Chains A and B, each alone.
Chain A
């Protein structure tokens, strides 16, 4: 097998599905599989995991035979900042409260773009926090603490 003839995208794809199948398969073995009459909680997941591994294997096999397009550009900066935003919202919503968490999450997400400047990001995040407080907290009456214990 020479590495040049391999379609990278599909090789990764096949490997991913095989891995996912193995993880789910392993986990379904931990619970009762059951019998034909009374299928247990692990029965269907195990069968599906097996099928997933099979599909992954077919994709992997095809990858060695047909060359495809490359994966293309990856938005690394976007991945870093955008995905961190909901995480930070989750970490801070109890401590900072609802308004603070919106501000921090929006601020972090702002830096996913190269075109955003500092002051613009702060301005936008503050505007969003105020807007959310007015609409969601006062308007719709979401039952979240506006300012949490960290700010007191």
Chain B
């Protein structure tokens, strides 16, 4: 069967000593930064992105980047459990019961449950990716420019639907992102445009600079608003090993969480977050002791953590097969691929099977490394929580500056970082989420290129988007999603789902 030879190739690529080392470095660095309170997975990856470019080989650098992603997620759960400070929205649910468990002296069990759930979910999700990626790639290869355009519209609409807060604001953010993606040289005519006369900005705004500014720096500024000390739970983390009774009670939630997360993660937009929330709700409903939820229920950690990790993994599917990012992290991965000279899309599987399958296999290896390393290292991570914030952010700023500068050695990129840091903070204050903007930015030039090509192919007939069946179906889906999120009743429900997140 193809699946096995493909996976064999993947594991052969990912398990070379060289790649394992980079996977390990990625996982460790990711956890290290992810554990630092208040810095989520996206910010972590944005900050560490430039470092991965120092590795010449695109496969190793993407493996390391993926490692940073799981590491950061794991780190985020750790802070959620130990100090009730979720690094990102998807671990916000873990904080509810995880922190309560920690207060009852069961921090070790909570951490172990999160790790075991994540590992199990990661294993299943890896198999799912290997199963579903090839057929999806085959379908995607049939896509013309018109279909691609419509598909990107679906992706953007989904990111609007799954952003929290005002729908109109999210749409505005997507549009702003698309416009920013078009700044610089026009791909087809070569004419410079939308650059305020600043040709120093180069062919395009630097993706790394924007990501660091919008996610990294804006987040630091938000943390500086309120400098009072955090209450750090410094009870010694002991008793990592869950009891037999614990295992019995976490099994079903982990299974359900994995299934839910795998399904929702594929959706464009941030499916992993939704999956974690949905899993929590389901576990609470199905539990024979619902009163325990919110007071340290094991299922309230096991389910959402598995869902979250499964979703995080399956969100690689649209990225790998279609070149469409499902969430800001995948947008960062696509940005990294482009910088490494790889055109994201269905051709990656055919042209670079080593990269495609190597990356998939490395996900499993990364998860394995996490569970093997992090449980023993938990003492170290707890110590890190004690590092005062005022020491952290000068360090982060120094490394961000070096990182951004190292990509192109262009001084202007640093000015772009400062500008987007300010813009990101302003938008945060105006309650606009940055994720849709980043997705728009990544897809901007891709969308335009395909739009223009589709128009030329159809001899200038814009109806081509609705007369081609697949394209029409996709657009219909986009319209349906948009109508649904704008309906008042759904809006209320959506607000409820996201209510605990901030």
Chain A residues in contact with chain B, CB under 8 A? 9-10, 12-13, 16-17, 20, 24, 27-28, 30-32, 35-42, 44-45, 48-49, 51-52, 55-56, 58-59, 62, 71-75, 77-79, 82-87, 89-91, 93-94, 98, 101-102, 105-107, 109-110, 112-116, 121, 124-125, 128, 132, 136, 140, 142-144
User: B121 to chain A: closest CB distance in Å?
Assistant: 34
What is the interface of chain B mostly: helix, strand, loop, or mixed?
A: helix
User: B392 to chain A: closest CB distance in Å?
Assistant: 10
Residues of A within 8 A of B179 (CB): 20, 24, 45, 48-49, 52
A13-B430 in contact given A45-B193, A115-B227 (Cβ < 8 Å):
yes
A12-B430 in contact given A36-B462, A45-B194 (Cβ < 8 Å):
yes
Q: Is the CB of B224 within 8 A of A77?
A: yes
Q: Is the CB of B391 within 8 A of A124?
A: yes
Q: Is B145 an interface residue (CB 8 A)?
A: no
Residues of A within 8 A of B399 (CB): 132
A124→B395 CA distance, assembly (Å): 8
A17-B172 in contact given A9-B431, A94-B411 (Cβ < 8 Å):
yes
Q: Is the CB of A55 within 8 A of B172?
A: yes
Q: Is the CB of A132 within 8 A of B191?
A: no
Q: Is the CB of A87 within 8 A of B172?
A: no
Residues of A within 8 A of B404 (CB): 86
Q: Is the CB of B194 within 8 A of A28?
A: yes
Chain B residues in contact with chain A, CB under 8 A? 54, 166, 168-169, 171-172, 175-176, 178-179, 182, 186, 188-189, 191, 193-196, 217, 220-222, 224-227, 388-391, 393-395, 397-402, 404-406, 409, 411-412, 414-415, 417-418, 421-422, 425-426, 429-432, 447-448, 451-452, 455-456, 459-462
- Top 10 A-B residue pairs of the complex, sorted by shortest distance between their CB atoms: A37-B460, A78-B224, A90-B414, A41-B186, A113-B390, A55-B172, A109-B397, A89-B401, A13-B430, A36-B460
Q: Is the CB of A45 within 8 A of B182?
A: yes
Residues of A within 8 A of B195 (CB): 27
Residues of A within 8 A of B166 (CB): 59
Q: Is the CB of B415 within 8 A of A112?
A: no
Q: Is the CB of B455 within 8 A of A37?
A: yes
* 8 pairs, CB–CB < 8 Å, chain A vs chain B: A20-B179, A27-B193, A39-B455, A82-B393, A84-B418, A86-B417, A105-B397, A115-B227
Q: Is the CB of B186 within 8 A of A31?
A: yes
* Cβ 8 A contact of A83, one of B189, B226, B418: B418
Q: Is the CB of A83 within 8 A of B217?
A: yes
User: B133 to chain A: closest CB distance in Å?
Assistant: 31
* Cβ 8 A contact of A52, one of B172, B401, B451: B172
Q: Is the CB of A93 within 8 A of B405?
A: yes
Residues of B within 8 A of A32 (CB): 189, 191
Residues of A within 8 A of B397 (CB): 82, 85-86, 105-106, 109
Q: Is the CB of A113 within 8 A of B54?
A: no
A125→B186 CA distance, assembly (Å): 41
A82-B217 in contact given A37-B460, A75-B225, A77-B224 (Cβ < 8 Å):
yes
Q: Is the CB of A136 within 8 A of B398?
A: no
Q: Is the CB of A17 within 8 A of B390?
A: no
Closest partner residue, chain A, to B431 (CB atom): A9
Closest partner residue, chain A, to B185 (CB atom): A41
Q: Is the CB of B414 within 8 A of A86?
A: yes
Q: Is the CB of B54 within 8 A of A75?
A: no
A28→B402 CA distance, assembly (Å): 34
Q: Is the CB of B169 within 8 A of A13?
A: yes
Closest partner residue, chain A, to B458 (CB atom): A37
Q: Is the CB of A79 within 8 A of B411?
A: no
Q: Is the CB of A128 within 8 A of B415?
A: no
Q: Is the CB of B194 within 8 A of A87?
A: no
Q: Is the CB of B390 within 8 A of A79?
A: no
Given A27-B193, A41-B191, A82-B221, 5 more contacts at CB 8 Å?
A27-B196, A36-B461, A45-B194, A78-B220, A109-B398
User: B26 to chain A: closest CB distance in Å?
Assistant: 15
